[in-house]
Structure 1
Amino acid sequence: MEVVASAPGKVLLTGGYLILERPNAGIVLSTNARFYAIVKPIYEDFKPESWAWAWTDVKLTSPQLSRESMYKLSLKHLTLQCVSSSESRNPFVENAIQYAVAAAHAVLDKNKKDALDKLLLQGLEITILGCNDFYSYRNQIEARGLPLTPEALAALPPFTSITFNAGESNGGNCKPEVAKTGLGSSAAMTTAAVAALLHYLGVVNLSAFSEDPHQQNKDSMDLDVVHMIAQSAHCVAQGKVGSGFDVSSAVYGSQRYVRFSPKVLSAAQAAVEGMSLEEVIGNILNGEWDHERTEFSLPPLMTLLLGEPGTGGSSTPSMVGAVKKWLKDDPEKSQETWRKLAEANSELETQLNMLSKLAKEHWDVYKCVIDSCSRLKPAKWMEGVAEPVKDELVKVLLKAREAMLGIRNHIRQMGQAAGIPIEPESQTELLDATMNMEGVLLAGVPGAGGFDAIFAVALGDSSSNVANAWSSRNVLALLVREDPQGVSLESGDPRSWEITSAVSSIHIK
């Protein structure tokens, strides 16, 4: 028996920094970039005498990193012990394994526990694969002398080996840095591993979500269990309770999100104080999860684009620390900026929802307006618009732009006051140029900002022009698009089917 589950990466469109505090909301879009976890037994059968063993084997493989680690899992304490060299540890998957197995123990009744133990005694072999979109391949493209275009990215084989920036390696023992694109790889990886394990161990059944993704009942108990376990494992691996939007979108897909109270996970952090892991998991599953999640996706005929400027990534934790310090040191001024930013975020959300509503009610007019605006610079969108519905639509588009400019303005003020580059000058120039291109509705820095990436939302067919314009400015347009689906059960190893789908999905203009 083999189980393959996947979970998407994310782009935080609005709510950077604010999302850390309730009741501020953020809009997070899930993407077609996914992490896959493949779970199968190591041994075909278990030997009858193996009941006497208190340990079982776990093998964790990351082919892209050329890493393989062996562990022993204690069937009594549900803890993992690494028995291979420790430099290739993956705390996210390690915690996913411990928490998923503990959840199986906490949830399954007595007569299912025998079957669970038999399954565990066959060992667990777990393979982790991440789509190329999570990692930066800019250096490889430049090294091959290829242009910085999406086509050059698409030409890379799926699940390409990840190169380390190990220039300063002394004897190969320092921790290599992987260049990432900021799509939330750790959350997607943790969620995929938790989902695959919980399904494999019989705790949840994810089949329903995969047969018809559009009929996903996102209020399912099974998804809620995946969410709670993945949030806990991710927080413990990170060593802190974050806002959790990245894990929530990895589980449920695109959404408007308000964080849970951090105290829900204090049980997970208190695990060291002598509580068994099974008890800890029981508390987490019965905790007061008070996050809010509303379905959200971009209005029709709009494309999310991500660009990698190649100025090197930014450290999110240190930027968050600087903003928190500013909030504490200058409460009056910071609260004012914070409030204005929250208002601008809310305004953008209102206009995007309005566009989705108008698209439903006046599809033909909507299509026509999006089509004509996709070929014009925003300053010309209003020209020659006479019909009332068209007029209303264009006004809503322009209000959405206005809100985005407001968001960017407040984010820059916040960055200057906190002494960090949330929207650095180089990005400001690039974003201004992007927002003035034909057919571009929005452009900004996602999430915590910095030098990681920029996003744009383009109307109709204008996305290929944006990608070309970016390329001429030394910005690599990634292949990432919005895909509102969350966690999913897959029909097999993605390495066997990625090859055909990658070829069919790329259109070279």
Structure 2
Amino acid sequence: MMTPCTIASAPGKVLLAGGYLVLEQAFTGLVVGTSARFYTVIRPSSQASTTTPGTVTVLSPQFEQASWTYQAIATNEKLAFHSITTESQNKFVETCLKFSLDVILQRIGSHALNEKLAQGIEITIVGDNDFYSQRAQLEAKHLENNAESLASLDPFCKTHATLGSVHKTGLGSSAALTTSLVAALLLFFQVVGHELNKKEKTLIHNLAQFVHCFAQGKVGSGFDVSSAVWGSHRYKRFNPAILTPIMDEHVDAAILSKALDADNTEWDNEVAPFTLPPGLDLMLADIDAGSHTPTLVGKVLAWKKANPDEANALWNELGKYNSLVEHHFRQLTSLYHDDGEEYNTTIQTCAQLKCTEWETAVSGKVGKELVSLVHDFNHVRGLLQKMSELSGVPIEPKEQTHLLDTCTQVPGVVMSGVPGAGGYDAIFCIVLSNQSKHAVRKVWESWKDLSVGPLLSQADSNGVTSVSLLSVPGLADTLTSK
């Protein structure tokens, strides 16, 4: 019989608009959550009779050499926490455990914390297959790199790599992992309830932002953690000054807890819920070249600092057109609610035609909005290409441009682009029909200039959730096949 367990889940992300600009509070980003999710499972140790009280074992069964053990004991409202594992470290997991337990201790006290840890706990963390390239897995099974082959793989399949060597697909694995682990710990220690109301999610958000920034060694934009908590939304970042003073290994736990509290009004980030309009589907592909996002961002910011007038003019124009893209999406949703019949008819007509043909083929408000969306998103792409050229940073590399332009010529494709910071990580397309989706995948499969692999994720507006073990196919198997 399976031991009762606590499970939290958090989604990956795609930043459709706002790359680089989202670092500044003057601008916003439009981020879409994905159906690819991370899951953290916490349960009492399976070797409780032989486990030292306060032992925390963390397992990541998709990876090689991915087991870590820690000791956590509270005395006089102070936490003694250290790693027992010496051969390998996991900065994100260790940082998350240490600071989350500090915050939890401030809320429940030493006795309750030690009681929950008395027989030791076992934490298992897994991510959906889309977070990692499955090329090696497909090759080992002699399968083509296509959607059908990916769908045939077991859930949470092994990567045959270490955490340091795995090829990520750019869906925000570290933010989704951190958020799911923070949420699972707060759930397990009963600091939050399973319904996860707005105030509880705000605590998860603030704590996950701090942990993620600390593990990365800097205060980032935070949009990836924000989408892991809140799902799809328009994001305006928090003032970095909230976290800067507490980014200290030895920060006082009471000060940390107060700074991260859901009632702390210094947190000035803004979240406006968002969903793609009906009939518009998100498609994603992994490019087997990879980019190191912090390197790209660092180079762009260095160029911006060296050329402030040129850069600021470009950023302001980009900010304006990013907002227009969001506006068109929201208008389309509104038009669907105003007249669903006209909306669906227009979508069906456009799904049969290239986006360059829509202006002459369709009339009415829906057609006009779709044409404006295409126009303004193409302008965004043009500005990103200009930023690439001026900064010398491959935000939309020329090889990507060729691929994206080809995708956009497929009937029923609204837009194609590079998400987030760009580079060689991934591409996205937004399409109007299953037929369009199938045709785009055919382009990817036949592409020769880059190795393009489809991902199975779709847009999903849901953020962090508490889930049951049996509601997630394959999750129970990961707990028994260590």
**Structure-1-length-normalised TM-score:** 0.87
Relative to structure 1, is the Cα distance of residues 231 and 353 closer, same or farther in structure 2, using a 3 angstrom cutoff?
same
Deviation at 1:81, TM superposition (A): 1.6
| Per-residue deviation, residues 423-467 of structure 1 (Å, max 9, x unmatched) | 000000001111111100011000000000000000132212211
Measured in 2, the distance between the counterparts of 1:238 and 1:248 equals 16
Deviation at 1:343, TM superposition (A): 1.2
Q: Which amino acid aligns with 1:193?
A: L
Partner of 2:18: 15
Deviation at 1:496, TM superposition (A): 5.2
- Residues 163-242 of structure 1 aligned to structure 2 (within 5 Å): 163-164=160-161, 176-205=164-193, 207-208=194-195, 220-242=198-220
Q: Which of 455, 469, 479 is 1:492 aligned to?
A: 469
Deviation at 1:468, TM superposition (A): 1.9
Deviation at 1:145, TM superposition (A): 3.9
Residue 476 of structure 1 pairs with residue 479 of structure 2: no
Partner of 2:151: 154
Measured in 1, the distance between the counterparts of 2:432 and 2:60 equals 38
Work out whether residues 158 and 495 of structure 1, in 8 Å CA contact, stay in contact via their aligned partners in 2: no
What's the Cα RMSD here?
Answer: 2.2
Work out whether residues 72 and 81 of structure 2, in 8 Å CA contact, stay in contact via their aligned partners in 1: yes
Measured in 1, the distance between the counterparts of 2:294 and 2:80 equals 28
Secondary structure at the counterpart of residue 65 of structure 1: coil
Secondary structure at the counterpart of residue 78 of structure 1: strand
Deviation at 1:391, TM superposition (A): 2.1
Work out whether residues 441 and 459 of structure 1, in 8 Å CA contact, stay in contact via their aligned partners in 2: yes
Structure 1 residue runs of 5 or longer lacking an equivalent are 167-174, 210-216, 501-509
Residue 117 of structure 1 pairs with residue 114 of structure 2: yes
Measured in 1, the distance between the counterparts of 2:444 and 2:79 equals 50
Relative to structure 1, is the Cα distance of residues 493 and 40 closer, same or farther in structure 2, using a 3 angstrom cutoff?
farther
- Residues 293-372 of structure 1 aligned to structure 2 (within 5 Å): 293-310=271-288, 312-372=289-349
Matched positions, count:
465
Deviates more, 1:357-366 or 1:136-145: 136-145
Measured in 1, the distance between the counterparts of 2:207 and 2:470 equals 24
Secondary structure at the counterpart of residue 407 of structure 1: helix
Measured in 2, the distance between the counterparts of 1:444 and 1:371 equals 23
Work out whether residues 271 and 280 of structure 1, in 8 Å CA contact, stay in contact via their aligned partners in 2: no
Partner of 2:480: none
Work out whether residues 4 and 493 of structure 1, in 8 Å CA contact, stay in contact via their aligned partners in 2: no
Measured in 2, the distance between the counterparts of 1:343 and 1:437 equals 28
**Structure-2-length-normalised TM-score:** 0.91
Q: Which amino acid aligns with 2:275?
A: S
Q: Which amino acid aligns with 2:389?
A: Q
Deviation at 1:227, TM superposition (A): 0.6
Partner of 2:81: 80
Partner of 2:433: 460
Q: Which amino acid aligns with 1:78?
A: L
Q: Which amino acid aligns with 2:431?
A: A
Measured in 2, the distance between the counterparts of 1:268 and 1:493 equals 39
Partner of 2:102: 102
Measured in 2, the distance between the counterparts of 1:152 and 1:455 equals 20
Relative to structure 1, is the Cα distance of residues 23 and 46 closer, same or farther in structure 2, using a 3 angstrom cutoff?
farther
Residue 137 of structure 1 pairs with residue 134 of structure 2: yes
Measured in 2, the distance between the counterparts of 1:297 and 1:99 equals 33
Measured in 1, the distance between the counterparts of 2:472 and 2:342 equals 43
Work out whether residues 105 and 278 of structure 1, in 8 Å CA contact, stay in contact via their aligned partners in 2: no
| Per-residue deviation, residues 245-292 of structure 1 (Å, max 9, x unmatched) | 0001001110000000001112431353xx423432223323610001
Partner of 1:172: none
Measured in 1, the distance between the counterparts of 2:446 and 2:6 equals 43
Q: Which of 210, 213, 221 is 1:243 aligned to?
A: 221
Partner of 2:33: 30
Work out whether residues 187 and 246 of structure 1, in 8 Å CA contact, stay in contact via their aligned partners in 2: yes
| Per-residue deviation, residues 6-45 of structure 1 (Å, max 9, x unmatched) | 0000000000000001121000000000000001122787
Work out whether residues 267 and 284 of structure 1, in 8 Å CA contact, stay in contact via their aligned partners in 2: no
Secondary structure at the counterpart of residue 231 of structure 1: helix
Q: Which of 248, 261, 267 is 2:239 aligned to?
A: 261
Relative to structure 1, is the Cα distance of residues 72 and 457 closer, same or farther in structure 2, using a 3 angstrom cutoff?
same
Deviation at 1:101, TM superposition (A): 1.5
Structure 2 residue runs of 5 or longer lacking an equivalent are 478-482
Q: Which amino acid aligns with 1:201?
A: F
Q: Which amino acid aligns with 1:407?
A: V
